[in-house]
Amino acid sequence: MSEKNTQTDGRVVDHGDDEIKLFDVLLVLLENKGKIAAATLLTALLAAGATALLPDKFQAEVLLLPPKQAQNTSALLMGQLSSLGGSVGGALGPNPNDMYIGMLQSRTIADALIRRFDLASDYRTKDASETRMELAKASTFINEKSGMITLQVLDKDKLQAAALANGYIEELQKLVQVFAVTEAAQRRQFYEKQLAGAKRQLSDAEVALKKVQQKTGLIQMNAQAEALIQGAAAVQAQVAAHEIRLTAMKTFATTLNPDYVRVQQELIGLRAQLSNMETGVNRGNGDLSISASKAPEDGLEYVRKLRDVKYYETIFDLMAKQFEIAKIDEAKESAFIQVLDPAIPPDNNAQPRRVRIVIIAALMAAFFSMCWAFASEALKSARRDIKKLDKMKLLKRSLLSKSMAE
């Protein structure tokens, strides 16, 4: 093969070496094509045999649509009820998707599934911790950009894979029934406790009033005094409700939250109003009943007990309304998880991917076989060069010896 030279800007570019090198590469591949093909085929057959021994694993999948946090009904009635309406509505909670994925990954759900499907015998594990690890390896939870959650479960049995995937959702629904996950459920639990306390306090106040009535013989007061007591008790109840509201908001919001600041200002105004009523009635003695000069001495105790009843009636009414509103909001969120695609037994196995494994093994075998061929050829070439050099040295010595002899 003749070498080709190209003249470029006064420089000579030699293409001969590149062509010789490419020819040498092709020559090496042609000389070793049988070995390369045999190694590739043998590796592919071994990979196919190895993957045939691996058990099939099937993947079942569930697609979920978690609920979104919505504005609660109580927030719309705050101005009318002036109570704990939107205490938690303005607070920013965690991402619902992350929260539900965390619950799905909880030990509580894992143990429930292990007991329900007897996974310890299926996974052939020694203890509960190892069984949980195997279940975690077989389960995948994906938070999709679309706002949905994809749940995938691998198992040797296609029916078991689908049952496990659906079992996750069933156990999640049971868990949510126990814990107040949604904002409305949290408000409902809070007001349920407040309502129970207000009901108990109202009952005690009514019993105390009845005892005073039996003791003093007073049945009722005049309309003006009763209206004054009822109005003062209502204001005091509003103050108590705002204080409860601020306490609840500290759990969900900071003191810089606009709703928190507004409620705090409303509380200051109500306290000022309450102070004015006390000052106007009995010169700020702290008694919300009418002044002592306007009531008989034996009726003061009755007035105070009546005031307590009116106060706890107002508190009970406010808590009852908020409790009902929270129940309505919770009912709206009752379908908290919507299963768009329930799990069904898959048609094809997900693991092992035999064709892919065989192709990758064959390509790797072909690559390493070619590397071996080039390395072997380079070693042979080096040996030939050494032998040629040794012959040249012998020839040179022979010629030198002849010349010295002559």
Residue-wise pLDDT tens digits, 162-218: 999 999 999 998 887 666 556 667 777 777 888 888 888 888 888 887 777 777 665
State pLDDT tens for residues 6-56. Answer: 444 444 445 455 555 777 778 888 888 888 888 889 988 988 888 777 788
Cα distance between residue 365 and residue 360, in whole Å: 9
Neighbours of 222 (CB within 10 A): 11
Domain ranges of the chain: 14-54+352-368, 58-77+95-182, 183-332
Distance CA 123, CA 186 (A): 38
β-pairing verdict for 139-143 and 149-155: antiparallel
For 49-87, the pLDDT digits (tens) are: 887 777 888 999 999 988 765 444 444 444 444 443 344
pTM over 0.75: no
| Sheet of 149-155, strands arranged across | 139-143, 149-155, 58-65, 338-341
Q: How many CA atoms lie within 13 A of 145 on its CB side?
A: 0
Q: Using alpha carbons only, give the angle 143, 67, 172 rounded to the nearest 5 degrees.
A: 75
Overall fold of domain 58-77+95-182: Alpha-Beta Plaits (3.30.70)
Of the ranges 176-190, 279-293, 384-398, which one carries the lowest mean pLDDT score?
A: 279-293
Q: 142: helix, coil or strand? A: strand
Residue in 301, 266, 298 with CA at minimum distance from that of residue 287: 301
